[in-house]
Each structure stands twice: as structure tokens, then as C-alpha cells.
Amino acid sequence: MTSASRRGAHERRWRTWIPPQHGVWAMLLLPYLAGLQFGLSWLHVPLLVTWLSGWLASYYALLAVKTLRLRRYWRQFLAYGVVSAVAAVPLFALRPGLLWFAPAFAVLLAVNALAARMGQERASVNGIASVTMASLMAMIAPATAGLEWTLGVPVAVAAWLYLAGSVFYVKTMIRERGSRAHYVVSVAFHAGAIAACLGVNPWLAIPFAWFLLRAAVLPRFSLKVPVVGAIEVANSLLLLGFLTLAWWA
């Protein structure tokens, strides 16, 4: 086997266990990291492991639901599911109140499962369900530190506004490029997000003004998918900075 073929085999094995959705990591980490600003606890480590491995388990479970090929994905689902379950033991043992978030996750996962079974996993409703789950982490993080979960509500709202806006915006850049209807929805949502974030924290109008500008202007350019993803990662870091500074300024 040549070195090139070995690299190819290694990449195929890697893709078998790591989803080819690089932009999703910003969605998963932004609310979690933003929620850490209210207080830190060693329990945030198992929380992160539970969250990331749980998402990976759900990803492969949804693939099995979509394709009806459980035998193909059971190893990934089982491995990530076990890791998530084990990491969750100290969380629920020491912070049983976190279980109150379980019904919300169950409903949102049901939306994901229905969309996957119908072959509509790229639908906006499914994307909104996913970003809503991610945004809940901004409230779960302070609760994990033994604080009131309500501390994270403003951060969760701001994160949701950005992530939900990204669902609409990315469609105008890739799958629905050139669609006037999708473009109007994206720009209108971002304009409304500015007004909404003013009620959360006026400082957030700065990054959200940029998010509106990019939603209005960038669809006019033909950008490659990696570039679109890189811009969104940078935007996530920008918002994370503002979500931290706005509450402590």
C-alpha cells in the first residue's frame, strides 16, 4: 500500500467516526463557552464530554433513522453513547436539577428524528431545533456550577439569535444560493435580531449589525464552502467576545 493510499484509508476511517460538518463545532461550543463566564466548576468538564459525545451519538443515531441501516452506525452510536452516559453520572448525581432540561432535549431530538426520517434534515425547522438545543447550554453551564440557570437566559437568547440567523444565511450562500425568498427571510431575520438583542444588551448591536451586513452583502459573491465556514467560525468568536465583555463592561 502506497503512502497516498494509506492516507486515504486513514481519512476514510476518520470520517467514519467524525462527522464531515466542521461548522457545527462552533454551534456546539459557542453557548457552552459563553455560559462559563458566570462561574466555573470541575463539573463543566464532564458536562462538555456529555454534550459533545451525546451530540455525536445523536448524529449517528439520526443517520441510522434516515437510512434504516443500524448495523452500519451502531458502533459509533454505542461508543459515543456510553461515553456520554458515563460522563453524565457525576452531573446528574451532584446536579439533579439538570434533569429538568431533559424534556426540552427530548422534544427537539424528536424533531431531528422526524426530519431525518423524512429526508428533510437540511430543512430550516430542523436547523432551528438543533441550534435551540445548543443554546440551552448557555443556561445549563451556570446551573452546573450550582448557580441559577436563569443567569444564562440572556446569553442563550443572544446565541440563539446568531445561530438561528446562520441557519438562514448559510442557505443563501450554499444550497439556496440565488433564491430571492431565502435571501429576504435571512435579511429580515437578521434585522429583527438587532432589535431583539437591544433588549438583551445594547452592546450586542455591534456584532449583530455586522451579521446583518454579511447576510445582506455576502450572498452576492461566490464564496467557497470552506470560506463560508471560516467566516462563521470567526463570527462565533466575535460574538463570544461580546457576550463576555458585554456582561462585565
Dist. CA 49–CA 180, nearest whole Å: 41
Share of the chain above pLDDT 90, in %: 66
The tens digit of pLDDT for each residue in 62-82 reads: 888 888 888 888 889 999 999
Q: pTM of this prediction? A: 0.90
Is 137 a residue whose pLDDT tops 90?
A: yes
217, 133 Cβ separation under 8 angstroms: no
Is 3 a residue whose pLDDT tops 60?
A: no
Which segment of 21-30, 55-64, 149-158 scores lowest on mean pLDDT? 21-30
Whole-number Cα distances in Å, 81 to 22, 40, 59, 209: 21, 25, 11, 39
Helix (H) or strand (E) holding 199: none
Q: Considering only CA atoms, which of 160, 186, 191, 188 is closest in space to residue 172?
A: 186
Helix (H) or strand (E) holding 145: none
Which segment of 71-75, 82-86, 133-137, 208-212 scores lowest on mean pLDDT? 71-75
* Res 11: pLDDT: 54
DSSP letter for each residue of 2-57? -HHHHHHHHHHHHHHHS-S-TTHHHHHHHHHHHHGGG---TTHHHHHHHHHHHHHH
pLDDT, mean of residues 218-245? 90
Q: Considering only CA atoms, which of 23, 99, 9, 21 is closest in space to residue 59?
A: 21
162's CB contacts (< 8 A; 6+ apart) are: 30, 193, 207, 208, 211, 235, 236, 239
pLDDT, mean of residues 100-110? 95
Residue 123 per-residue DSSP state: S
Dist. CA 85–CA 247, nearest whole Å: 33
21 vs 234 pLDDT, higher one:
234
pLDDT, mean of residues 181-196? 94
Is 13 a residue whose pLDDT tops 70?
A: no
Categorize the per-residue pLDDT at 46 as very low, low, confident or very high, splitting at 50, 70 and 90.
very high
